[in-house]
């Protein structure tokens, strides 16, 4: 029997820059189709707090992906399973049905995903089917270590090592599939999971790739100067596509490399700053591979697990609803409620406010973000929340406590962002919009809340609690 390879799609539903798919294609040649499997598990999605808007985005993308895959000779099967514990059984059945000799997949790095993949590999190899793991969601695989052989726990040295690795090894090739005889498109099964409209976001591989090219063609030049100003909306908004695997970071670095022959050096400031954000994403994914406690809801800095967080449900709900009385915090939370997305700088501000002003467990905020964000990525979300809470790797020093009013004045000086999302303040003058209590009183208004906590007192309370550790 000649070699015949299949693909197990997961967070990589794309045809280009997909090393698992490319490897199977090379084995099978152009005369044979490529059997492929996509498993959907709503029970696991619920356990991992998938946002309905994120699920809707994937469903909309799959509508075009099944046709694109069929046109390229990919015989795709989409199956719904009850639990990831059934994944090994489903993958084995799929492999045996197609008489595969090998299966290729792209790695996922949280602990549960690693456990699932080990179980699948063991079952297939027991039946004589080889399994090959690829790293299609990373430019640099999780092999970077310090001179002492340890994982990097600080971003700056990791970034230097990442850039050095790319300088020495080059960037992965974004191969496209050769033409094959078309096959029948897969049928999307019914999935019992809530959906929320994501139509503001493009889907389909061609459209998503064009969005990447459009951003790098010009807007990225202003990224360094404008990325912290939420009213300008100067970020790429590509994060949902990294998370679902509609885009590969390989494609981004390939386009960036066209800007500089010395890549990863030689980029303009905007592009280099944007590249650094991609490296942050890889940093957190590398940590997921190496630090299992992160997948168990534990702090990276183990002594901070003893922090005595408050469990005030009333304050937490005020934060969730954008009713804290701090306009920049409320604007961010209302943007999240409306769009399923929030500007990155504002994410930092609202996270700091929850953990350091309200002294509420960062895990509550982490979960709420995952349940609502269209780009909710476990590794990046966990890393961002632990950074804000001063419990994570390379975290903000615990004594760094954002003043929400000063942050508001800094990132939204004229109040444009606040006015867009906090309608009660749409007529508030810029000088008063960051602390509008006096203006509201002058207007005889009580339709916007007074601050639910005094920042100065809250700061001292947090510092005392953290020092007690």
| Active-site residue set | 277, 280, 309, 344, 362, 385
**282 assigned binding-site residue:** yes
Pairing of the two strands 5-9 and 74-80: unpaired
Q: Is 242 annotated as a binding residue?
A: no
On whether 238 is known to bind a ligand per the annotation, the reply is yes
β-strand partners of 130: 102
Instruction: Report yes or no: 245 and 13 within 8 Å, Cβ to Cβ.
Output: yes
Cα(89)–Cα(231) distance, integer angstroms? 50
| Residue 283 marked ligand-binding | yes
99 is in an annotated binding site: no
Strand order in the sheet with 5-9: 74-80, 34-40, 5-9, 102-106, 130-134
- Proportion of the chain in helix, strand, coil states, percent, rounded to 5: 50, 5, 40
* Annotated binding-site residue? 2: no
254: annotated binding-site residue?
Answer: no
- Cα separation, 429 vs 451, in Å, equals 18
Does 281 belong to an annotated binding site?
yes
Q: Is 84 annotated as a binding residue?
A: no
Residue 243 labelled as part of a binding site: no
Helix (H, G, I), strand (E, B) or coil at 246: coil
To the question of whether residue 274 is assigned a binding role by annotation, the answer is yes
Beta bridge partners of 9: 38
Q: What is the CA radius of gyration of the chain?
A: 24
CA distances from 168 to 149, 165, 256, 272 (A): 19, 5, 17, 18
Residue 175 in tokens: 């191969």
Q: What does the longest C-alpha to C-alpha distance in the chain come to? A: 84
The reply to whether 293 sits in an annotated binding site is: no
> What are phi and psi for residue 132, nearest 5 degrees?
-125, 130
Task: Estimate to the nearest angstrom the gap between the alpha carbon of 381 and the chain centroid.
Answer: 7
Enumerate the known binding-site residues: 223, 235-239, 274, 277-284
Enumerate the known binding-site residues for FAD: 223, 235-239, 274, 277-284
């Amino acid at each position: 029997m000649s070699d015949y390879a299949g693909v197990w799609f997961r967070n990589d539903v794309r045809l280009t820059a997909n090393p698992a798919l490319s490897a199977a294609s090379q084995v099978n040649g152009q005369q044979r189709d490529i059997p492929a499997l996509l498993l959907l598990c709503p029970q696991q999605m619920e356990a991992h707090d998938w946002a309905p808007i994120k699920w809707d985005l994937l469903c909309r993308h799959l509508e075009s992906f099944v046709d694109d895959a069929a046109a390229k000779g990919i015989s795709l099967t989409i199956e719904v399973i009850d639990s990831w514990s059934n994944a090994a059984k489903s993958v084995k059945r799929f492999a045996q049905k197609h008489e595969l000799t090998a299966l290729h997949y792209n790695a996922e790095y949280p602990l549960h995903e690693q456990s699932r993949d080990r179980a699948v590999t063991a079952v297939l190899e027991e039946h004589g089917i080889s399994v090959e793991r690829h790293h299609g969601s990373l430019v640099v695989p999780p092999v970077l270590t310090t001179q002492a052989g340890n994982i990097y726990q600080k971003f700056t040295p990791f970034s230097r090592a990442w850039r050095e690795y790319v300088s020495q090894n080059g960037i992965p090739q974004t191969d496209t599939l050769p033409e094959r005889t078309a096959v029948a498109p897969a049928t999307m099964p019914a999935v019992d999971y809530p959906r929320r409209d994501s139509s503001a976001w493009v889907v389909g591989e061609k459209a998503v790739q064009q969005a990447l090219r459009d951003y790098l063609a010009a807007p990225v030049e202003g990224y360094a100067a404008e990325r912290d100003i939420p009213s300008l909306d100067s970020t790429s908004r590509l994060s949902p596509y990294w998370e679902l695997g509609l885009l590969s970071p390989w494609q981004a670095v390939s386009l960036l490399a066209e800007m500089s022959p010395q890549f990863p050096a030689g980029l303009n400031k905007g592009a280099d700053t944007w590249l650094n954000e991609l490296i942050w994403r890889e940093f957190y994914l590398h940590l997921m591979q190496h630090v299992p406690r992160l997948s168990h809801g534990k702090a990276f800095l183990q002594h901070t697990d003893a922090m005595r967080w408050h469990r005030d449900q009333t304050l937490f709900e005020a934060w969730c609803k954008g009713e804290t009385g701090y306009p920049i915090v409320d604007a961010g939370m209302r943007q999240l409620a409306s769009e399923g997305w929030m500007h990155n700088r504002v994410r930092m501000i609202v996270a700091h406010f929850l953990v350091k002003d309200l002294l509420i467990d960062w895990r509550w905020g982490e979960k709420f973000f995952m349940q609502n964000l269209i780009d909710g990525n476990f590794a990046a979300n966990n890393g961002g929340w632990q950074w804000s809470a001063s419990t994570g790797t390379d975290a903000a020093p615990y004594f760094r406590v954002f003043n929400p009013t000063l942050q508001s004045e800094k990132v939204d000086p004229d109040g444009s962002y606040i006015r867009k999302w906090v309608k009660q303040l749409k007529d508030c003058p810029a000088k008063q919009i960051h602390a509008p209590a006096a203006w509201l009183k002058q207007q005889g208004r009580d339709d916007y809340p007074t601050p639910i906590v005094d920042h100065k007192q809250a700061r001292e309370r947090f510092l005392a609690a953290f020092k007690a550790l």
